[in-house]
Amino acid sequence: MSAPNCCRETMSLSRKEQIEEKVWEMMTPILQKNGLIGVDAEYVKEGGEYFLRCYIDKEGGVGITDCENVSRELDPLLDEADLIPDAYTLEVSSPGLGRVLKRPRDFQYGIGREVELRFYKARDGHKDLRGILVGEDPKTVTLESDGETKVFEKSELSKISLTYSL
């Protein structure tokens, strides 16, 4: 018997992606209750240790109390769900000044803001480009840079992030 359509997508996700999606689902009501916005949830292994990083935001920026509140509410839910078999460290923080754009909601947030595109291979002698994000769809991003509107395939980009000025 084949799996229903709703489950096929989940079955094709990697273990890492499944964990990240489940954590995202668990985190969303906590964020809504606290007036926060979810930016990302990532499960990574660094130097032999596992980390579950949850990035949150709100208008005006998040503070340590926001991060502590989310961590305190999320931690027991994660323990109860027991979806991560490895020992890991939970980190809840702001996405930082150079916020990476990954999901559609990230791109919506980034419209009209300065971003940096980093290319896998150099284009016109450069591995990165700055400009104003003016559009995005599932396959491309559109930037205004040097007085021109330019469209780039997401598949040629290793990273898209907000920029910041001091």
Averages of pLDDT over runs of 10 residues in the chain (166 residues) are 37 81 95 93 93 92 95 96 93 87 86 94 91 94 94 94 77
Closest alpha carbon to 28 in 39, 17, 18, 15: 39
Residue 13's φ and ψ, nearest 5 degrees, are: -75, 145
- Which residue has tokens 């229903």? 4
Residue 6: the pLDDT is: 38
Placement of tokens 């606290």 in the chain: 34
